Structure 1
Amino acid sequence: MSTKKVPQISTAAAGSGRPLIIRLGKRLRGSMNRISAAQSKIPNGSIIEASAFPWTDHLAENWQTIAQEAAAILRHRDAVPPLNDISPDHARIAGDGNWRSFFLVGYGYEVPENCARAPATAELVRQIPDLNSAFFSILEPGAVIPRHRGVTHGLVTCHLGLIIPDRPEDCVIQIEDTDCFWETGKWLVFDDSQYHEVHNRTDQRRVILLIQVKRPMRFLGRLANDLAIWGIRRSPFVQDARRNLGHWEEAYRQAEQNEAA
């Protein structure tokens, strides 16, 4: 059993630069999304076939190995940070700590110590073309993620089911007006810029591998998307999260040392 020491997270979300960046991003989001949709090489619907991304087959074939590494991470569940402790920008949707995220890669930045804790998974995700983020997403019993949407149509979100409640139909993600649920070893791929919400109405934990990749696009769209993601990576939205993850690393190391003692 581990003793959790809550890290001090960055409060830069209240800094003077953040509101301007957010306002600019929101103002440009509609135009950027229209460019992405017009330039997309895959369908623009809310739900996307996993076959649009050939790499999904290889990860699905190895889902049990990935699930075993996720289960090992959960030995120190209290040292896995709630999303709102990583990213203050997600405070509205991250709730009271019932949604936790164990990052391997975040906006192109690898987390070396976490990758070492899940080496097989880390090696698999390194092979994904145009990878933006990869992490174990942990949803506790009764958790609710309110209706929201992601920052850009230029990224596609892919969920691989790892540890799923016995009644998967009671652990639901609603994407626009479509109810979907997770299955072990199978992918759920969708446009994160569409409105979606999640309800875990079971007494069991749900764990998935969440992969976010760049949308395949023609040249103009790819150029605009790369520029937008370059800006996001250097914004407080991402840089604050990187600092906060660093603080949580110490909590996880301490949990591991306590177990070994």
Structure 2
Amino acid sequence: MACVTCPGACRRTGPGNRVRRPPGSPRPARNHEGRAMTSVNDTPEKPKTLNRPLRKFVKRNGKKLMRRVARFQSTQSLVPDTPFIDAALFPFLAEFEQKWQVMRDEVREILKFSDDIPGFEELSPDQYRIAKARQWKTFVLYGFGVPLAGNCAKAPVTAEILSRVPDIQTAWFSILAPGYHIPAHTGVTKGILRAHLGLLIPQEREKCRIRVDDQVRAWQAGKVIVLDDTYEHEVWNDTDEERVILLFDFDRPMGWRGRFLNRLMLRLMKFTAFYQEPKKNLADFEARFEAATRRADQNLEKLSD
């Protein structure tokens, strides 16, 4: 995966910042089907549910605890504790690169129902600072280690390959709108690594990139990158095309103490609203997408009668 330069852009950004584009560049306005994209709000409104005192207390103290846990997990890691990790260290990733074109074709069929794919902030309101106006959409295949049967049926080959990933946690098709910038943020736990497989990458791929810590890379169709999202990271799509990747998380290889602590922390998280709310939303949106595809099938049947 080629590294690219990112002059003046690798810094922390506030949640209200507008998408940054080079001077004179055209204003992105279309998705992969040529549809007009929705506008991006400058200052996203904080969901009212996030103002609950207990939730704020859990989030504030949970972050402190997770930072301590991350330091211990670093000592337990069996792979380098670096922003990007060599994908060759994970043999199971080779199959993704071998069959990426099949997965690309599956997501193209899913994108025909793009209007019914939720924005990240709709699934998880806690992401309102980095995802807004449905500019970053997610078609989820795995949530919290459990496959979503309805969604997986729409991408059977992708789902089958994902099922062979050791200790998979989450997986989704990540769809980034033209011109969108995901502000700098950090992940929750060092016990999980994140993989990206390029599927539909803009032609000007050097303008569609991710920064992790002080390293910047551009996606490439059919290639996997692995990263540690506890390092500060952000994303730019400074092109007029959508960017689509398969994103999935799996457990970091660690010593037994690190594995035990990681599983304990993930289990405890399942008792919080940060798990329960997205879980409910996932089920709702899975049902909506299934209903949308069913209506389309029924309309086709009527036309053929």
What TM-score does the superposition give when structure 1 sets the normalisation length?
0.93
How many pairs were matched up?
A: 253
Letter in 1 for 2:275: V
Per-residue deviation, residues 103-162 of structure 1 (Å, max 9, x unmatched): 110111221100111111111101110111111101011111000010011111100000
Give the alignment partner of residue 232 of structure 1, picking from 265, 269, 293.
Answer: 269
Per-residue deviation, residues 199-245 of structure 1 (Å, max 9, x unmatched): 10001011101010111000111111111111223321121001112
Higher helix share: 1
Letter in 2 for 1:168: R
CA contact (8 A) 2:185 2:234 kept: yes
Counterpart of 1:202?
Answer: 239
- 1:17 Cα deviation from its structure 2 partner: 3.4
Letter in 2 for 1:241: P
Give the alignment partner of residue 83 of structure 2, picking from 21, 39, 46.
Answer: 46
Counterpart of 1:146?
Answer: 183
Letter in 1 for 2:165: I
Q: Distance in 1 between matches of 2:256 and 2:294?
A: 49
Give the alignment partner of residue 177 of structure 1, picking from 179, 191, 214.
Answer: 214
- 1:250 Cα deviation from its structure 2 partner: 3.4
Higher radius of gyration, 1 or 2: 2
Letter in 1 for 2:113: H
Q: 1:130 to 1:241 in 2, by over 3 A?
A: same
Q: Distance in 2 between matches of 1:230 and 1:162?
A: 32
- 1:72 Cα deviation from its structure 2 partner: 0.8
Letter in 2 for 1:130: D
Supply the RMSD in Å over aligned alpha carbons.
Answer: 1.6
Asked if residue 243 in structure 1 is aligned to residue 280 in structure 2, the reply is yes
Per-residue deviation, residues 50-81 of structure 1 (Å, max 9, x unmatched): 01211100121111111111111101001010
CA contact (8 A) 1:40 1:217 kept: yes
Gaps of 5+ in 1: 2-9
Counterpart of 1:189?
Answer: 226
Q: 1:175 to 1:93 in 2, by over 3 A?
A: same
More relative contact order, 1 or 2 (CA 8 Å, 6+ apart) = 1
What TM-score does the superposition give when structure 2 sets the normalisation length?
0.80
Structure 1 stretches of 4+ with a deviation exceeding 3 A read 10-17
- 1:16 Cα deviation from its structure 2 partner: 4.5
SS at match of 1:94: coil
Give the alignment partner of residue 290 of structure 2, picking from 237, 240, 253.
Answer: 253
CA contact (8 A) 2:145 2:167 kept: no
| Identity in percent | 38
Return 239-248 or 153-162, whichever deviates more: 239-248
Q: Distance in 1 between matches of 2:63 and 2:79?
A: 24
Q: Give matches, 1:208-227, under 5 Å.
A: 208-227=245-264
Give the alignment partner of residue 62 of structure 1, picking from 65, 87, 99.
Answer: 99
SS at match of 1:234: coil
Asked if residue 95 in structure 1 is aligned to residue 123 in structure 2, the reply is no
Per-residue deviation, residues 16-63 of structure 1 (Å, max 9, x unmatched): 432232122111122111111000000001110001211100121111
Per-residue deviation, residues 150-201 of structure 1 (Å, max 9, x unmatched): 0011111100000100010010111112111100110111111000001100
Letter in 1 for 2:248: I
Counterpart of 1:4?
Answer: none
- 1:255 Cα deviation from its structure 2 partner: 2.0
